[in-house]
Amino acid sequence: MDPEEPIVPTIELEKVILRQLKVSDRDDIFEAYSDKEAMRFRRNPAPRTIQDADAMISRSILDARLNKAFRWGIEERISGKIIGTFVWKVENGKSESEIGYSLNKGWWNQGLMTTILSAMVSRLFEKENVTTLFAIAHRLNVASVRLLNKNGFVRMSEDREGLVTFKKNR
Ligand SMILES: CC(C)(COP(=O)(O)OP(=O)(O)OC[C@H]1O[C@@H](n2cnc3c(N)ncnc32)[C@H](O)[C@@H]1OP(=O)(O)O)[C@@H](O)C(=O)NCCC(=O)NCCS
Protein backbone atom coordinates (compact mmCIF):
# COMPACT_ATOMS: atom_id res chain seq x y z
CA MET A 1 0.00 0.00 0.00
CA ASP A 2 1.32 3.45 -0.88
CA PRO A 3 1.95 5.17 2.49
CA GLU A 4 1.24 8.54 0.90
CA GLU A 5 -2.02 7.56 -0.77
CA PRO A 6 -4.27 10.36 0.54
CA ILE A 7 -6.78 9.42 3.21
CA VAL A 8 -7.18 12.92 4.52
CA PRO A 9 -9.63 14.72 2.23
CA THR A 10 -8.28 17.77 0.40
CA ILE A 11 -10.10 20.99 1.21
CA GLU A 12 -9.65 23.99 -1.06
CA LEU A 13 -9.95 27.49 0.38
CA GLU A 14 -9.12 30.82 -1.26
CA LYS A 15 -5.53 31.23 -0.08
CA VAL A 16 -4.70 27.77 1.23
CA ILE A 17 -5.28 24.11 0.48
CA LEU A 18 -5.69 21.71 3.39
CA ARG A 19 -4.27 18.32 2.48
CA GLN A 20 -2.57 15.22 3.82
CA LEU A 21 1.04 15.73 4.89
CA LYS A 22 3.78 14.07 2.82
CA VAL A 23 7.33 13.04 3.68
CA SER A 24 8.57 15.87 1.45
CA ASP A 25 6.88 18.42 3.77
CA ARG A 26 9.46 17.68 6.49
CA ASP A 27 11.46 20.92 6.12
CA ASP A 28 8.33 23.08 6.21
CA ILE A 29 6.98 21.20 9.24
CA PHE A 30 10.33 21.50 10.97
CA GLU A 31 10.45 25.26 10.24
CA ALA A 32 6.95 25.85 11.62
CA TYR A 33 7.26 23.59 14.66
CA SER A 34 10.82 24.27 15.78
CA ASP A 35 10.06 27.92 16.55
CA LYS A 36 10.08 28.43 20.32
CA GLU A 37 7.60 31.32 20.32
CA ALA A 38 5.10 29.45 18.14
CA MET A 39 5.40 26.37 20.35
CA ARG A 40 5.20 28.27 23.65
CA PHE A 41 1.70 27.06 24.45
CA ARG A 42 1.86 23.61 22.82
CA ARG A 43 0.73 20.82 25.16
CA ASN A 44 2.67 17.96 23.53
CA PRO A 45 6.42 18.10 22.90
CA ALA A 46 7.17 19.95 19.66
CA PRO A 47 9.39 18.40 16.95
CA ARG A 48 12.96 19.57 17.64
CA THR A 49 14.78 17.85 14.80
CA ILE A 50 14.13 16.92 11.18
CA GLN A 51 13.68 13.33 12.40
CA ASP A 52 10.97 14.52 14.82
CA ALA A 53 9.26 16.25 11.88
CA ASP A 54 9.44 12.99 9.91
CA ALA A 55 7.92 11.13 12.85
CA MET A 56 5.11 13.69 13.12
CA ILE A 57 4.29 13.26 9.42
CA SER A 58 4.36 9.44 9.63
CA ARG A 59 2.17 9.51 12.73
CA SER A 60 -0.34 11.80 11.01
CA ILE A 61 -0.67 9.30 8.15
CA LEU A 62 -1.01 6.34 10.54
CA ASP A 63 -3.55 8.14 12.76
CA ALA A 64 -5.67 8.92 9.69
CA ARG A 65 -5.53 5.27 8.58
CA LEU A 66 -6.64 4.21 12.07
CA ASN A 67 -9.42 6.81 12.02
CA LYS A 68 -7.92 8.24 15.20
CA ALA A 69 -7.07 11.76 14.07
CA PHE A 70 -6.92 13.72 10.84
CA ARG A 71 -4.12 16.24 10.57
CA TRP A 72 -4.27 18.46 7.50
CA GLY A 73 -1.19 20.25 6.25
CA ILE A 74 -2.01 23.87 5.43
CA GLU A 75 -0.46 24.59 2.03
CA GLU A 76 -0.16 28.20 0.90
CA ARG A 77 -1.50 28.33 -2.66
CA ILE A 78 0.99 30.84 -4.07
CA SER A 79 4.13 29.12 -2.75
CA GLY A 80 3.09 25.47 -2.29
CA LYS A 81 4.67 25.69 1.17
CA ILE A 82 3.22 23.99 4.25
CA ILE A 83 2.66 26.85 6.69
CA GLY A 84 0.90 24.99 9.49
CA THR A 85 -1.49 22.20 10.35
CA PHE A 86 -5.05 21.70 11.52
CA VAL A 87 -5.96 18.58 13.49
CA TRP A 88 -9.30 16.89 14.17
CA LYS A 89 -9.10 14.18 16.82
CA VAL A 90 -11.83 11.88 15.57
CA GLU A 91 -12.00 9.77 18.74
CA ASN A 92 -13.47 6.72 17.01
CA GLY A 93 -16.47 8.37 15.49
CA LYS A 94 -17.70 10.02 18.66
CA SER A 95 -19.93 12.99 18.01
CA GLU A 96 -17.83 15.05 20.44
CA SER A 97 -14.26 15.68 19.36
CA GLU A 98 -11.36 18.07 19.70
CA ILE A 99 -9.60 20.31 17.20
CA GLY A 100 -6.21 22.00 17.24
CA TYR A 101 -4.19 24.25 14.91
CA SER A 102 -0.86 25.93 14.43
CA LEU A 103 0.66 28.31 11.89
CA ASN A 104 4.24 29.20 10.99
CA LYS A 105 5.00 32.52 12.74
CA GLY A 106 5.67 34.23 9.41
CA TRP A 107 1.97 33.89 8.54
CA TRP A 108 0.40 35.05 11.82
CA ASN A 109 -2.13 37.82 12.17
CA GLN A 110 -3.28 37.90 8.54
CA GLY A 111 -6.71 36.39 9.23
CA LEU A 112 -5.68 32.98 7.88
CA MET A 113 -6.69 30.80 10.83
CA THR A 114 -9.96 32.72 11.19
CA THR A 115 -10.87 31.60 7.65
CA ILE A 116 -9.57 28.05 8.15
CA LEU A 117 -11.26 27.48 11.52
CA SER A 118 -14.57 28.81 10.26
CA ALA A 119 -14.45 26.55 7.17
CA MET A 120 -13.37 23.48 9.15
CA VAL A 121 -16.00 23.92 11.87
CA SER A 122 -18.73 24.18 9.20
CA ARG A 123 -17.40 21.09 7.45
CA LEU A 124 -17.17 18.98 10.62
CA PHE A 125 -20.68 19.94 11.69
CA GLU A 126 -22.25 19.58 8.24
CA LYS A 127 -20.38 16.64 6.66
CA GLU A 128 -19.09 14.60 9.59
CA ASN A 129 -20.85 13.10 12.56
CA VAL A 130 -19.84 15.94 14.89
CA THR A 131 -22.24 17.70 17.22
CA THR A 132 -19.79 19.26 19.68
CA LEU A 133 -16.26 20.52 19.17
CA PHE A 134 -13.72 21.23 21.90
CA ALA A 135 -10.54 23.28 21.73
CA ILE A 136 -7.98 23.87 24.45
CA ALA A 137 -5.93 27.05 24.64
CA HIS A 138 -3.75 28.54 27.34
CA ARG A 139 -5.36 31.64 28.84
CA LEU A 140 -2.25 33.69 27.91
CA ASN A 141 -2.48 32.61 24.26
CA VAL A 142 -4.26 35.82 23.26
CA ALA A 143 -4.46 35.05 19.52
CA SER A 144 -5.89 31.55 20.04
CA VAL A 145 -8.40 32.67 22.68
CA ARG A 146 -9.54 35.53 20.41
CA LEU A 147 -9.77 33.18 17.43
CA LEU A 148 -11.99 30.76 19.38
CA ASN A 149 -14.19 33.50 20.81
CA LYS A 150 -14.80 35.12 17.43
CA ASN A 151 -15.73 31.70 15.99
CA GLY A 152 -18.40 31.12 18.62
CA PHE A 153 -16.49 28.81 20.99
CA VAL A 154 -17.58 29.26 24.60
CA ARG A 155 -15.24 29.01 27.60
CA MET A 156 -16.06 25.97 29.75
CA SER A 157 -13.33 25.54 32.36
CA GLU A 158 -9.73 26.33 33.24
CA ASP A 159 -7.24 23.98 34.87
CA ARG A 160 -4.46 24.79 37.32
CA GLU A 161 -1.94 25.28 34.50
CA GLY A 162 -4.14 27.92 32.85
CA LEU A 163 -5.40 25.65 30.05
CA VAL A 164 -8.90 26.74 29.09
CA THR A 165 -11.36 24.32 27.49
CA PHE A 166 -13.68 25.88 24.91
CA LYS A 167 -16.75 24.26 23.39
CA LYS A 168 -18.97 24.86 20.37
CA ASN A 169 -22.20 22.99 19.61
CA ARG A 170 -23.60 22.39 16.13
C1 LIG B 1 -3.27 30.91 17.26
C2 LIG B 1 -2.93 31.10 15.78
C3 LIG B 1 -3.25 29.82 15.03
C4 LIG B 1 -3.78 32.24 15.22
O5 LIG B 1 -3.67 32.25 13.80
P6 LIG B 1 -3.73 33.59 12.94
O7 LIG B 1 -3.94 33.23 11.52
O8 LIG B 1 -2.54 34.41 13.26
O9 LIG B 1 -5.04 34.26 13.53
P10 LIG B 1 -5.90 35.40 12.81
O11 LIG B 1 -5.00 36.28 12.02
O12 LIG B 1 -7.03 34.75 12.11
O13 LIG B 1 -6.40 36.24 14.06
C14 LIG B 1 -7.35 35.78 14.99
C15 LIG B 1 -7.58 36.88 16.02
O16 LIG B 1 -6.47 36.93 16.91
C17 LIG B 1 -5.87 38.20 16.88
N18 LIG B 1 -4.43 38.01 16.92
C19 LIG B 1 -3.65 37.35 16.03
N20 LIG B 1 -2.38 37.34 16.43
C21 LIG B 1 -2.35 38.03 17.59
C22 LIG B 1 -1.32 38.34 18.52
N23 LIG B 1 -0.05 37.94 18.30
N24 LIG B 1 -1.64 39.05 19.63
C25 LIG B 1 -2.92 39.44 19.84
N26 LIG B 1 -3.95 39.14 19.03
C27 LIG B 1 -3.66 38.45 17.91
C28 LIG B 1 -6.29 38.83 15.57
O29 LIG B 1 -6.25 40.24 15.64
C30 LIG B 1 -7.69 38.26 15.40
O31 LIG B 1 -8.65 38.98 16.14
P32 LIG B 1 -9.54 40.16 15.47
O33 LIG B 1 -10.25 39.55 14.31
O34 LIG B 1 -10.42 40.60 16.57
O35 LIG B 1 -8.59 41.24 15.02
C36 LIG B 1 -1.43 31.46 15.58
O37 LIG B 1 -1.14 32.58 16.37
C38 LIG B 1 -0.51 30.32 15.95
O39 LIG B 1 -0.26 29.43 15.16
N40 LIG B 1 0.06 30.36 17.17
C41 LIG B 1 1.03 29.34 17.61
C42 LIG B 1 0.44 27.99 17.81
C43 LIG B 1 -0.74 28.02 18.74
O44 LIG B 1 -0.72 28.72 19.75
N45 LIG B 1 -1.76 27.23 18.42
C46 LIG B 1 -2.96 27.15 19.21
C47 LIG B 1 -2.78 26.30 20.40
S48 LIG B 1 -4.27 26.37 21.37
Which pLDDT tens digit goes with each residue over 122-155?
999 999 989 999 999 999 999 999 999 999 999 9
Q: Is 97 a pocket residue for ligand 1 (Cβ < 6 Å)?
A: no
pLDDT at 71: 97
Given a cut of 90, whether residue 109 has pLDDT beyond it is yes
Q: Which atom of ligand 1 is nearest to the CA of 109?
A: 11
The fraction of the chain above a pLDDT of 70, given in percent, is: 96
Do the strands 11-12 and 70-76 form a parallel or antiparallel pair, or are they unpaired?
unpaired
Predicted confidence band at 41 (pLDDT cuts at 50, 70, 90)?
Answer: confident
Site to substitute for ligand 1 among 34, 39, 83, 103, most atoms within 8 A of C-beta = 103
Intra-chain end-to-end CA distance of the chain, in Å: 36
CB of 18 within 8 A of CB of 86?
yes
Q: In sequence order, which ranges of 38-110 are alpha helices (DSSP H)?
A: 50-65
Q: Return d(Cα 113, Cα 147) in angstroms, integer.
A: 8
CB of 77 within 8 A of CB of 86?
no
Given a cut of 70, whether residue 96 has pLDDT beyond it is yes
Q: Is 113 a pocket residue for ligand 1 (Cβ < 6 Å)?
A: yes
101 — phi, psi (to 5°)? -160, 160
Residue 81 gets which letter from DSSP? -
Mean pLDDT throughout 112-118? 98
- What is the value of pTM for the model shown? 0.95
Q: Is 145 a pocket residue for ligand 1 (Cβ < 6 Å)?
A: no
pLDDT at 56: 95
Residue ranges per structural domain of the chain: 11-169
As assigned by CATH, the class of the 11-169 domain is: alpha beta
Given a cut of 60, whether residue 48 has pLDDT beyond it is yes
How far CA 14 is from CA of 46, 93, 119, 128, 163, in Å, comes to 29, 29, 11, 22, 32
